[in-house]
Amino acid sequence: MKFAAIDVGSNAVRLLLSKVDTEGVEPVYEKISQFRMPIRLGDDAFVHGNISDEKIRKLVKTMIAFRYLMDAYEPMDYMACATSAMREAENSDKVVKKIKDKSGIDLNVISGRKEAKIIYSNRIEKIIADGDSSSYLHVDVGGGSTEIIVFNRKKVLAYRSFNIGAIRMLEGFVSKDEWKDMKKWVKSVTEEYKPVSAIGSGGNINKVFAMSNTKEGKPISFKKLNKVYKFLKGYSLEQRITKLGLRPDRADVIIPASKIYFSVMKWGKIDKMHVPRLGLADGIIHVLYHKHKEKYV
């Protein structure tokens, strides 16, 4: 069973081509190919309130390319979702229509609630469960928003979507009140549900994890996350690109993103974070599989 997922984020646009093997007791998800274009729609949406003609042109060309890749891969279904930047852009309807006209792709601008629900579809606790009754705090940091979900094996216990993201922070569009609101909520839910560990998703935490020299499959400690955060802050933007080898579109946002992950762990008094490299696009694949599995399993 082959599926495709498109994630139109505030920092980058991604295409994931995946397949699901249903031969065993549990379905096995395999990533076949991933493609990423750093268009950074958030630079327009959060600063000017709409998507510029130049960004629309780049986005449409990218979606046309994704259409050809999907046609070659021949998935049985696909889903394309846009998040915070497109939610905020006043001309998002125009962008969605142009993408449909030029590429044939139906792009859904989803709410923060829907985004959190799709991310939760990954059911990461099955991979890292410490026990049947354990609860976890999943934090997904994007360019424009942060989704936080507290859950256990049976259900979602609490979740919120905050308009706090790496690009918003970089541009100075996160107020003290918004930051205090997230802090208050995280403290409240962690005191109530006492998650045993955090789960981090997003390109920035993947990079921080790689830089921490933590063994693959093991959680990154709060101490190591803080160490990498301070290490990165010790370099200028240019040095993070030239000396540390970070991509330009990663080198600037990794600092505010790291601050969000670090702060959530600090507020929740959580000492370890699993980084399974699963995000919105992976969740979309899970949603598509469950939509079609009754026909083929």
Per-domain residue ranges of the chain: 2-113, 124-278
pLDDT at res. 154: 79
CATH number given to 124-278 = 3.30.420.150
Query: pLDDT for 4-63, tens place per residue?
Result: 999 999 999 999 999 999 887 788 899 999 999 999 999 999 999 999 999 999 999 999
Q: How confident is the model at residue 116 (pLDDT cuts 50, 70, 90)?
A: confident
- Per cent of the chain over pLDDT 70 is 95
Question: Rounded to an integer, what distance in angstroms lies between the CA atom of residue 41 and that of residue 85?
Answer: 6
Query: pLDDT for 181-229, tens place per residue?
Result: 999 999 999 999 999 899 999 999 999 999 999 998 899 999 999 999 9
Residue 280 half-sphere exposure, CB side, CA atoms within 13 Å? 31
Q: Is the pLDDT of residue 125 over 70?
A: no
Query: pLDDT for 70-115, tens place per residue?
Result: 999 999 999 999 999 999 999 999 999 999 999 999 999 999 889 9
Average pLDDT of the chain, as a whole number: 93
The reply to whether 124-278 shares the fold of 2-113 is yes
Question: Rounded to an integer, what distance in angstroms lies between the CA atom of residue 161 and that of residue 142?
Answer: 11
Query: pLDDT for 282-296, tens place per residue?
Result: 999 999 998 988 665
* Helix (H) or strand (E) run with residue 16 in it: strand 13-21
pLDDT at res. 128: 61
Query: pLDDT for 132-160, tens place per residue?
Result: 568 999 999 999 999 999 988 778 899 99
Neighbours of 194 (CB within 10 A): 14
DSSP 123: -
pLDDT at res. 297: 52
Q: Rounded mean pLDDT of 257-278?
A: 95
DSSP 67: H
pLDDT at res. 277: 85
Q: Which CATH number fits domain 2-113: 3.40.50.300, 3.30.420.40, 3.30.300.20, 3.90.850.10?
A: 3.30.420.40
Q: Which residues, including other chains, have CB under 8 Å from residue 1's CB and lie 6 or more apart?
A: 19, 20, 22, 76, 289, 292, 293, 296
